[in-house]
Amino acid sequence: MVKDQNIWQILTFGRTLDINELIANRKILEAFSLKGKNAIVTGGNKGLGRAISLGLASAGANVVIAARDLEASENVAKEIKKIGTDSLAVKTDVSNQKDVKDLVNKTIEKFNRIDILVNNAGVINRPRQAATEIPEEIWDWVIDINLKGTFLVSREVAKSMIENKKGKILCIGSILCEIAQAWHAPYVASKGGIRQLVKALALEWAPYKIHVNALCPHYFRTDFVKKSLEDPERYEQILKNTPMGRVGEPEDLIGSSIFLCSEASNLMTGQIILIDAGYSLP
């Protein structure tokens, strides 16, 4: 028997359960299940978004893929259906309010409610440029999609979650939510903004049991950072600055995403969690 029964009360969200019952029925593992939940993943058709979409589906969720490339989204939707849950692809520009409202309406029309939102859609200014040379239109493009888009989608989805008095919102930030980097001023500004937006929304929506958190990865092997990883000198520098000595793979984000979208994280909100192999430690 566990000496401190309060520990188990916390792990089971206030319900007093015997340790033998927990072992026999795997009650703790049930808290990580997303069976019957309905999720939206923006930018969910490639890279980290695709991995998260497939991961949520493997945990039992129905997943709506929201991105600008409808064909790519439909391909991921087919993959999800093979896993055994339902899916829908919706052509969406997250910086466009009309598109966002259409996304929410179509999701509710098909699945009746929204339980989970993953704000993953994002862009970065390429090529790397000095702040003095970045055109205004590039600044607007990055901020509109990364920061404004995160706000617009969160705002519309939260209206539904507030009615249901429950929801999980997960924003995919970046290690640059916490540290700075030269040559990417718009991207760094947008991710820094997401850090504070997550905290503001978490505070405002806590009374409705809406949890808002962020995962902040460093270098993950996706098209987003492909050029950096293909440059031997740059790649070596990245590994040298990463205590665990490796970059992330898309699947490395699945476990933490499921956790923050599940009942297992019911006491967490407003948290910025770094998934960076120790990159931010030195």
Place of tokens 């999980």: 168
**Alpha carbons 126 and 250: distance in angstroms, whole number:** 21
What stretches of the chain show up as alpha helix (H) in DSSP?
Answer: 5-11, 19-25, 27-30, 47-58, 70-83, 97-111, 136-143, 149-164, 185-205, 226-230, 232-240, 254-261
Q: Which residues pair with 220 in a beta bridge?
A: 248
By the 10 Å C-beta count (0-12 exposed, 13-18 middle, 19+ buried), 271 is classed as: middle
Amino acid in position 27: K
* Of 187, 208, 219, 235, catalytic: 187
What Cα–Cα distance (Å) separates residue 44 from each residue in 75, 76, 132, 218? Answer: 11, 8, 33, 18
Catalytic residue list contains 208: no
Query: Which residues have C-beta within 8 Å of that of residue 241, sequence separation ≥ 6?
Result: 279, 282
**Alpha carbons 92 and 69: distance in angstroms, whole number:** 8
Amino acid in position 139: W
DSSP secondary structure code for residue 251 in this structure: G
**Alpha carbons 78 and 126: distance in angstroms, whole number:** 31
H helix and E strand count, the chain: 12, 7
Catalytic residues: 187
